[in-house]
């Protein structure tokens, strides 16, 4: 990447959707603040019932976060992300789950292709050799199948469709017609980026997946729904993507 083309002072907006993450959200946010980047941290509380709201208000007072948005009712991860996108003022946007599965120390590497103006979006891939916790075989198979099907529609060669780390230029992501309320967001944003002819990079990241006993929320039903979403978002294209 050529130094003269870099934009070293970019502001990265990190959107943290949170639903009943009282046990981990503060640790996740403190890890974010340790990252050597200029960050705007926006947390979207999706009507949590476990005390997450009170924790976030305390962290806002301590200026650990820049903004907290509260949903009056549970609307889903995709809806929480869209609320964060609408409020974002940074040069690029990324989603950080509040459950400690993704390491914020990977964010500087993900931002590099944006800084060098060689990419419009950067995906953090869990399947390109980064360290990861060994967990569920069928989750791995399901992700690979969904990634393959999505690639067939988009003509991309992604390795990790369902990764949380999708870093996108703010100017671009605000123009994408995103409507998904739940986990279909991952499929939809990939389809919309492909339709917008965005330049997409992939970079390996580490991954420490959690078990259902530890609070993992995605289920096989979301995987089945993703199959429908792949067809829906790729075949039914908005007139002005």
Q: For residue 38, tell me if it sits in a domain.
A: yes
**pTM: predicted TM-score of the whole model, two decimal places:** 0.87
The residues facing 95 across adjacent strands are 15
Q: For residue 169, tell me if it sits in a domain.
A: yes
**Domain harbouring 219, CATH code:** 3.90.550.10
Other C-beta atoms closer than 10 Å to the C-beta of 5 total 10
Strands (E), 47-120: 67-70, 92-95
Give the SS3 label for residue 138.
helix
Q: For residue 241, tell me if it sits in a domain.
A: no
Q: For residue 181, tell me if it sits in a domain.
A: yes
Looking at the structure of the chain, the number of domains it has is 1
Chain segment 174-222, per-residue pLDDT in tens: 999 999 998 789 999 999 999 999 999 999 999 886 454 555 556 657 6
- Average pLDDT score, the chain: 89
Chain segment 119-170, per-residue pLDDT in tens: 999 999 998 876 655 455 667 787 889 999 999 999 999 999 999 999 999 9
CA distance 25 to 98: 5
Q: For residue 190, tell me if it sits in a domain.
A: yes
Q: For residue 240, tell me if it sits in a domain.
A: no
CA distance 84 to 92: 12
Domain extent, residue 134, equals 3-234
């Amino acid at each position: 990447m050529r130094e003269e083309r870099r934009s070293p002072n970019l502001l990265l907006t990190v959107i943290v959707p949170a639903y009943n993450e009282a046990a981990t959200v503060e640790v996740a946010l403190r890890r974010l603040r340790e990252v050597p980047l200029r960050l705007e941290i926006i947390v979207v509380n999706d009507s949590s019932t476990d005390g997450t709201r009170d924790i976030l208000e305390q962290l806002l007072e301590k200026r650990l976060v820049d903004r907290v948005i509260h949903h009056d009712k549970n609307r889903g991860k995709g809806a929480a992300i869209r609320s964060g996108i609408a409020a974002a003022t940074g040069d690029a946007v990324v989603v950080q789950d509040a459950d400690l599965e993704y390491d914020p120390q990977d964010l500087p590497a993900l931002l590099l292709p944006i800084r060098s103006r060689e990419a419009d979006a950067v995906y953090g891939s869990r399947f390109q050799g980064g360290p990861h916790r060994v967990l569920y075989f069928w989750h791995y198979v399901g992700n690979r199948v969904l990634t393959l099907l999505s690639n067939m529609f988009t003509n991309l060669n992604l390795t990790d469709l369902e990764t949380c780390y999708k870093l996108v230029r703010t100017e671009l992501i605000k123009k994408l017609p995103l409507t998904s309320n739940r986990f279909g967001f991952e499929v939809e944003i990939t389809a919309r980026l492909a339709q917008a002819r965005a330049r997409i990079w992939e970079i390996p990241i580490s991954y420490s997946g959690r078990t259902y006993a530890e609070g993992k929320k995605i289920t096989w039903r979301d995987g089945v729904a993703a199959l429908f979403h792949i067809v829906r978002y790729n075949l039914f294209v908005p007139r002005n993507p």
